[in-house]
Chain A
């Protein structure tokens, strides 16, 4: 690749660290350890304060936290508020009858299932870092159990996982909005979030070599190869545009969506990749 008048050729031997909270990522990138060769995938819009230190270089995709139940569960029609979903995750609501009327004989105790990593760590969703005491981890977040018709299960997982289950489960509407490809893409579903890649504006040790290294990575990240891999993992890509309309109203705009995150691009010919000249 050409950068700053020189030719570089890299083979990338990268590392990725999974952190529990985006706040830790942002503080690391914007603090004294900010590096030209470090960036972060973030799951929210940056605040004005964060944008002073960080730069969004790729608006990649959309995802959402969802609460899934069996397809014919009463809460499917009634829906929940975001507050109720969080309280179910935390354990403040332990019985379905606290949020919806149940038919005779239906199980009342909520069986909370939470997506977990291969190391057994429960992935934080709905803003909850400490789940209810009785929450059980499952690799699929409890989706298969809900699909089998278990009326007790409340599965906490992602839209990326749940969307593949179709109508075999119910993705519970939150604040009156059901999670669908369209509502998640448009971020109109309350628990939807954007996925973007950010880098420090003022990294330490910003040499031309290290900036070229990051530029090569960003070029790849925004290219067809990375998009193919993201798609294979179920991510809804911004580059693919709004999903085709189904039964629910589709977003009005074409690519990019009206709520697309502004992506900062260096001016043509500029040397800057991640941070100011210097």
Chain B
């Protein structure tokens, strides 16, 4: 099980992205959906990635 320190790191690593740009006003019939995805830390390309219609800007493209 994760240590307390790890848990703190995990809490800090939880990504809650901004809502995907969506013209809600022009599409009143749409529902907002939430799909939660778990990501193991060593999947480097996924860190900071929002598995949705956007990208978390805290990690930029690789060199």
Residues of A within 8 A of B (CB): 8-22, 24-25, 28-29, 35, 37-43, 61, 63, 65, 115, 117-121, 123-125, 140, 143, 157-158, 160-161, 164-165, 195, 197, 213-214, 216-217, 220-221, 225, 229-230, 232-235
Contacts and interface: CB of A to CB of B under 8 A. Distances in A.
Given A10-B31, A16-B39, A37-B34, 16 more contacts: A10-B33, A11-B19, A11-B27, A17-B14, A18-B13, A18-B15, A25-B38, A29-B38, A39-B36, A39-B38, A41-B40, A41-B43, A121-B12, A123-B44, A234-B44, A234-B61
B41 A38 contact: no
Contacts, number: 202
The 7 closest A-B pairs by CB, nearest first: A234-B62, A235-B45, A121-B9, A10-B33, A158-B44, A14-B52, A11-B22
B39 A14 contact: no
Interface string B1-44: 01000100110111111011010100101111111111111111
10 contacts: A11-B30, A14-B37, A17-B13, A20-B2, A25-B40, A65-B42, A117-B47, A143-B63, A164-B63, A195-B46
A53 B44 CA distance: 26
Interface residues of B, number: 45
Interface of B: 2, 6, 9-10, 12-17, 19-20, 22, 24, 27, 29-47, 49-53, 55, 58-59, 61-63
Given A11-B24, A234-B61, A20 B41 contact: yes
A37 to B, nearest CB: 5
Contact of B32 (A13, A119, A164): A13
B17 A16 contact: yes
Contacts of A29: 38
Instruction: State the main secondary structure of chain A at its contact with B.
Output: mixed
Nearest to A126: B42
A188 B62 CA distance: 24
B34 A11 contact: no
